[in-house]
């Protein structure tokens, strides 16, 4: 297992404010929020990127957790996204779903 900051969060070695937790996923605020509301949902299993996913129900589950949290925190709407690889500007190599809101998002992104 590579030295992975999100695995350390899953293992409780780095404390976070848990917004939601299931047997397969954990949601917590992003350390560098890009909107008034910005949290991440990660699988507890270490997966480097979306290109490594084989159990696609897990990706659905990440969204299920995100919407459960966002419904309360962002009643006016939100954006979910997953960055993959260099062109996706992925910086942490453990799959994570971003959920942003609390203001209108811009389009096109990036």
Our CB check for ligand 5GP shows the closer of 48 and 67 to be 48
Closest CA to 97 of 51, 60, 71: 60
The answer to whether 46 is a known catalytic residue is: no
Residue 96 in contact with Zn ion, rule: CB under 5 A: no
- Indicate which of Zn ion, ligand 5GP, none lies near residue 4 (CB less than 5 to 8 Å, by partner kind): Zn ion
Cα gap 54→50, rounded to integer Å: 9
The CA radius of gyration of the chain, in Å to the nearest whole number, is 13
What is the side-by-side order of every strand in the sheet holding 25-29?
20-21, 25-29, 37-43, 97-101, 78-81
**Contacts with ligand 5GP, 10-49, as mask; x by CB under 6 A:** ------x-----------xxxxx-----------------
Write out the residues near ligand 5GP by the rule CB under 6 A: 5, 16, 28-32, 83, 89-92
């Amino acid at each position: 297992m590579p030295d992975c900051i999100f695995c350390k969060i899953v293992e409780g070695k780095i404390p976070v404010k848990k917004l939601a937790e299931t047997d397969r996923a954990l949601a917590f605020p992003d350390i560098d929020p890009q909107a008034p509301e910005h949290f991440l949902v990660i699988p507890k299993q270490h997966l480097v990127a979306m290109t490594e996913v084989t159990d696609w129900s897990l990706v659905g589950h990440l969204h299920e957790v995100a919407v459960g949290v966002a419904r309360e925190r962002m009643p006016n709407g939100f954006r979910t996204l997953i960055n993959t690889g260099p062109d996706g500007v992925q910086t942490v190599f453990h799959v994570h779903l971003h959920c942003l809101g609390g203001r209108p998002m811009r389009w096109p992104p990036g």
